[in-house]
Amino acid sequence: MSRPTTRRTPGATLTGARRTGIQLALATAVISGFSVFFNADGVRAFGDATAYTTAKNAVAAIVLLAVVAIGSRAGARLTLPRTGREWAALAAIGLVGGSVPFVLFFEGLARASSPQAAFLHKTLLVWVALLAVVFLGERLSLFHLLAIALLVIGQIGLVGGISSFGGAEAMILGATVMWAVEVVVAKWLLAGVSSWTVGVARMVLGSVVLIVWVGVRGDLGLLTSMTAEQAGWVLLTGVLLAAYVATWFAALQRAQAVDVTAVLVLAAPVTAVLSNVTDGVPLRPQLDWLMVVLAGGALAVWAAWRARSAPVAVS
């Protein structure tokens, strides 16, 4: 197995890598928009949020392992960490990114209103921006700040803000902050290992922890006695999660954490359109705020597209 190394490359190469990262982030946003839409029905069909999360995460882990096994020659390959710090970071991603926050988020989602849950999750951008500036030394231009402001304001407008804050909302916010920490750790780690390594570690280690937790609760039967409908939702959302993880970490390896997280907010208009087309949810009451989100997303893409790039990991 080969491993990427971090080195300075000509400006055109750095720009090309960064722009590829933004394109991958746009793909991730589309996948996320579909995932949010389908997960709402999936968790209701399954009944138990933690068991549902465990099942779909396990499917995602299997899909990613299969892609690596089949597509290693096409670039989907694993690389081993070389230092104890890298091994520790990889393990932390499995715990902080791939297991605990999923339980917190979906347990909170089962209790909180969907709009408030959506808003709290979208504060991920704010937390990542703060952590990335402090720990990664990423630079924010005035255009970045304006884009972040538009994206946050648009999200507040879409969901009407937070009318109440209790235990369920605290669980969702806690999961969001943990995912923000994961983004920063992963960005640091991706300078030394492949994006597939980080993605597989996140889902495989995270799934193991989740399965153990479900077993401790005495609910393993929920995983082995799924109905055909439940299995269908798990397979669909698990495959979408695998696609999300693959494109997300590939984007994060090539572009700033702030940039790819900002672009991810564009998932909201995708979910809104799907809800309109399939469920008849009217777009007009949300149209103005969706346009604000789209404007913020477009500005985030433009700011990232034109920005000077830092060294990136290249194979």
pLDDT in tens, 104-117: 887 887 777 666 67
Residues of the chain with pLDDT under 70: 1-14, 72-74, 113-116, 161-163, 308-315
83: region left, alpha or beta (phi > 0 left; psi from -120 to 50 alpha): beta
1 part of a folded domain: no
CB neighbour list of residue 48: distance below 8 Å, 6 or more residues apart: 219, 222
5 part of a folded domain: no
Verdict on whether the full-model pTM lies above 0.75: yes
2 part of a folded domain: no
Please give the pLDDT value at position 96: 87
Please give the pLDDT value at position 135: 95
Q: Which of 53, 28, 97 is nearest to 244 (CA)?
A: 28
229 part of a folded domain: yes
Please give the pLDDT value at position 128: 96
Cβ–Cβ under 8 Å, residues 113 and 239 = no
Q: Which domain holds residue 45?
A: 10-314
Tokens of 29: 């946003």
In the beta sheet, which residues pair with residue 6?
A: 313
CB atoms within 10 A of CB 285: 10
State how many domains the chain has.
Answer: 1
3 part of a folded domain: no
Q: Which of 27, 102, 79 is nearest to 199 (CA)?
A: 79
210 part of a folded domain: yes
